Amino acid sequence: NETREFVLFLNGYKTSDPVTSKKLEITTIKSVTPMTCGGAECRLQLSRTHRSTLPPLLNAYEIYSVIQFMQPETNENEVVALKSIQDTYKLYRINWQGDPCVPQQLMWDDVNCSDTIISTSPRITSL
């Protein structure tokens, strides 16, 4: 009976109970507590438990960082309208994710926004 079981460590600290993955099934492990890494390096280690007959296996993992922007978000009603247009006309672009106008360096392709003043929400001016 083959068993794949492992424990996750982040920078040497145990961050999970033993994880058992079953053949042809998806296992998602998430943390509800924010974890940080000292310095510029995070080291993720998957350690096999004594019950495991197979090595740990990882297909993907995601790390993200919350960024505080100085500018307010794009006007919510305009974002809802733009999403409706996108769905109706099947306008799918790779970078149409997140806020359409903020931050400016990640503004959606083919969307123009008003100049943003730090105290006011940007407005979508054309598509």
Establish if 71 belongs to a structural domain.
no
Summarised one tens digit per residue, pLDDT across range 32-85 is: 777 887 777 888 999 999 999 999 988 888 877 777 777 889 989 999 999 999
In terms of domains, do 2 and 49 share one? yes
- Distance of alpha carbon 91 from alpha carbon 89, whole angstroms: 5
- Model confidence band, residue 17 (pLDDT cutoffs 50, 70, 90): very high
List the helix and strand counts (H, then E) for the chain: 1, 6
- Tell me: do 98 and 121 sit in the same domain: yes
Classify residue 62: in a domain, yes or no. Answer: yes
> 16 with 62, same domain?
yes
Domain count, the chain: 2
Domain containing residue 106: 76-126
pTM for this model (two decimals): 0.55
Q: Which residue has the tokens 């509800």?
A: 32
Kindly state whether residues 89 and 59 are assigned to the same domain: no
User: Distance from first CA to last CA of the chain, Å, rounded?
Assistant: 58
**Gap between the Cα atoms of 20 and 5, Å rounded:** 4
Instruction: Pull the structure tokens for residue 55.
Output: 């090595």
Q: Is the predicted pLDDT of residue 118 greater than 80, yes or no?
A: no
SS3 15: coil
For 76-98, what is each residue's pLDDT tens digit?
Answer: 999 999 999 999 999 888 888 88
